[in-house]
Amino acid sequence: MSIKTRKVFAVTFIVAGILLTLLPFKLAPVCTRPKPDGSPMICYYVGKIEIILGYVLACLGALMFLLQKKVFQIILSLTVFIDAFLGIAFPLFIIGGCPGKLMECNIRGYPALYLLNGIAGLMAIIFTIKVAKNAE
């Protein structure tokens, strides 16, 4: 695999990680108002987890620049896939979301998270296949 291709994937993962840190509370916010008892809604915690997963994704993309061996590239891309899978799994079925289908998190926040994590996961699979083909 060429260095240029590796850098394109690395930059894509870094940008996706940065976007993932901004999505839950800035770009496509989850519910920001508290429940009647004053505690945060459950999607608030999903947003916090997505920010952490975004930092991890950006760091994994940065590591792709530094680590050039094929085995490290494969490990990093599989880790990106796991990160993206968790980014979809937390709001979908691990933690869940708000019960109201017309709430802000269900209309804008979660679909944006699903889309971004899905793209990152798909790109991780493509990158893994490309690296594995070139390793043979």
Which pLDDT belongs to residue 65?
Answer: 87
Residue-range definition of the domain harbouring residue 21: 3-135
Residue 12: pLDDT above 90?
yes
Give the total number of structural domains in the chain.
1
For residue 31, the domain's CATH number is 1.20.140
Which pLDDT belongs to residue 54?
Answer: 97
Which pLDDT belongs to residue 136?
Answer: 66
Q: Is pLDDT larger for residue 9 or for residue 134?
A: 9
The pLDDT tens digits of the residues spanning 30-89 come to 887 888 898 999 999 999 999 999 999 999 999 998 998 999 999 999 999 999 999 999
User: Would you put residue 7 in left (φ > 0), alpha (ψ -120 to 50) or beta?
Assistant: alpha
State the Cα–Cα distance between residues 84 and 93, nearest whole angstrom.
14
